Amino acid sequence: MSDDDDAPGPRSELRRQSRERRRLRAAVLVLVSVVLLGAVPLFFGIRTLSRDPVFDNLDQLNVPGWAAAKTVDDVSGSRWCLLDCRLRERTVTSEKSPEETATVYESALRADGWQPWKVARCPEPGTKGSYTCWRRDELTLDLWVREPTCVPPPVDGEPAIVPSPEPSAAAAECAGSLVSVKVRNAIDDERTRPQPSTDPSLTGEDPFPTVSEDPLGELTPSPS
């Protein structure tokens, strides 16, 4: 058998291997394209689900930079009220006094569509600082602006000690204010529900019953 008769075999094998490599490269390119095209929407979708839109709305409040020097967010519960409804909490450090800070935040809330909400237990008795409540759509918002709690860091492992308010230097270092924002679903806010009453017509009991002078009353004489 001549060499010319053997030539077509190796050439056919090389062509077959070349076609397989091209198909493999094409499949890899398609797979990479699908992964990249799907990963980007998936990333933003997961980011959207994990990021509560309420915080995005709070970010858009028109407050000056000094009123939001440092922001810390915390969230608990389910957005769809599975077992527990969602509670959004934001703590903000402001560089100016509580009075100035409360004014700019209240103006920003009004501009964003929030309405002042006058309700019992807002604020709770003994609350210091400016505490106001607000409602918008299906949400309630508590805004608490007060003086910061300034505690020096512990020294040599000793517990921190609250400084006395007398030195003016310490007061200068403890300037500014602290802002707490709490946003809840209205259906989960107990203040939106009917409040208990002691009205006897509602409870069926007199909260201040009249007691006779003689708790035993007059004894009935037994028959002789």
Report phi then psi at 126, rounded to 5: 85, 5
Question: What tokens does 132 get?
Answer: 């106001």
Residue type, 2: S
Predicted model pTM? 0.60
Q: What is the dihedral of CA 112, 116, 121, 123, to 10 degrees?
A: 80
What's the average model confidence in pLDDT over 162-186? 75
Q: Report which of residues 12 and 6 the model is more confident about.
A: 12
Partners of 150 in beta bridges:
none
Q: How confident is the model at residue 201 (pLDDT cuts 50, 70, 90)?
A: low
Q: What pLDDT was estimated at residue 45?
A: 40
Identify whether the C-beta of residue 93 lies closer than 8 Å to the C-beta of residue 70: yes
Lowest mean pLDDT across 71-75, 160-164, 179-183:
160-164
Residue 71 pLDDT exceeds 60: yes
**153-168: per-residue pLDDT in tens?**
555 555 545 555 555 5
Question: What tokens does 169 get?
Answer: 């230097």
Q: Report which of residues 12 and 95 the model is more confident about.
A: 95
What's the average model confidence in pLDDT over 118-146? 95
**91-120: per-residue pLDDT in tens?**
999 999 999 999 999 999 999 999 999 999
**25-68: per-residue pLDDT in tens?**
888 888 887 777 765 554 444 444 457 899 999 999 999 999 99
Give the percent of the chain with pLDDT over 70.
66
Q: Report which of residues 156 and 17 the model is more confident about.
A: 17
Q: Report which of residues 70 and 204 the model is more confident about.
A: 70
Q: What pLDDT was estimated at residue 22?
A: 85
Alpha helices in the chain (DSSP H): 3-6, 8-50, 53-59, 98-111, 168-173, 200-203
Q: What pLDDT was estimated at residue 29?
A: 81
